[in-house]
Amino acid sequence: MVQPKIAPSMLSSDFANLASEAERMIRCGADWLHMDIMDGHFVPNLTIGAPVIESLRKHTQAYLDCHLMVTNPIDYVEPFGKAGASGFTFHVEVSKDNWQELVQKIKSKGMKPGVSLKPGTPVEEVFPLLEGENPVEMVLVMTVEPGFGGQKFMPEMMDKVRVLRKKYPSLDIEVDGGLGPSTIDLAASAGANCIVAGSSVFGAPDPAHVISLLYKSVENAQNSS
């Protein structure tokens, strides 16, 4: 059975207090911290890069689940490895020609390679990356258009999750965008085990309660499947 992981998206945190926000999330029961890296080109928004990951790493031992919404992910592997990133998830839409080199490089820097796909990208496009000698170890299914937090969950993306879970029973499948107490059951029953949640966690009066609801939903779905 794949381990449930709840990953609050730090995009919804107070960036001016990133270290204490990270610590607060871990205290609230978060398994991973989801870090959204946007280059203002692949997506129309600009966030943080390796220097911020490096600074945060000095304050936490937590798993830093980095989601690279960038046009040239290969340029980021070395700096992110040095900075202390744990997971490095790139987008399939910009990696068709060099994903093999990318995966190899990510692993050689001690990070876990993942691939993400935008809502309009067919799930079949990630299949080659899950086969062969050097596969990715996680698929991140976007459930909103990448770029911003606080958008509405797209339930039609659950078909992709179902297809992936059927084909790859032990794969880490992450969902990202619009996840919270009202949408988690759809994602959990489709087979997602890694759950990114930004606004629903940071906007809640009791983030620990939301994190535990998300975790329990994944556990329940796994126990009844």
Ligand X SMILES: O=C(CO)[C@@H](O)[C@H](O)COP(=O)(O)O
Interacting residue ranges for ligand X, rule: CB under 6 A: 9, 11-12, 34, 36, 67, 69, 144, 146-151, 176-179, 196-200
Half-sphere exposure of 113 (CA within 13 A, CB side): 24
The answer on whether 147 is annotated among ligand-binding residues is yes
Instruction: Answer with the entry of ligand X, Fe ion, none that 178 interacts with (C-beta below 5 to 8 A by kind).
Output: ligand X
Task: Name the catalytic one among 31, 39, 65, 176.
Answer: 176
CA distance 202 to 173: 23
* 176 part of the interface to Fe ion, by CB under 5 A: yes
Q: How many CB atoms lie within 10 A of CB 23?
A: 15
Asked whether the beta carbons of 138 and 194 are under 8 A apart, the reply is yes
Give 94's contacts (C-beta < 8 A, 6+ positions apart): 42, 70, 71, 72, 73
CA distance 212 to 214: 5
* 57 part of the interface to Fe ion, by CB under 5 A: no
* 67 part of the interface to Fe ion, by CB under 5 A: yes
Nearer to Fe ion (CB atom), residue 31 or residue 36? 36
Minimal distance in Å, beta carbon 168 to Fe ion? Answer: 21
Give 191's contacts (C-beta < 8 A, 6+ positions apart): 161, 162, 164, 165, 166, 173, 221, 225
The answer on whether 110 is annotated among ligand-binding residues is no
Minimal distance in Å, beta carbon 102 to Fe ion? Answer: 18
What x-and-dash track marks residues 22-41 binding Fe ion by CB under 5 A?
--------------x-----
Is 36 among the residues known to form the active site?
A: yes
Is 185 among the residues known to form the active site?
A: no
Active site residues: 36, 176
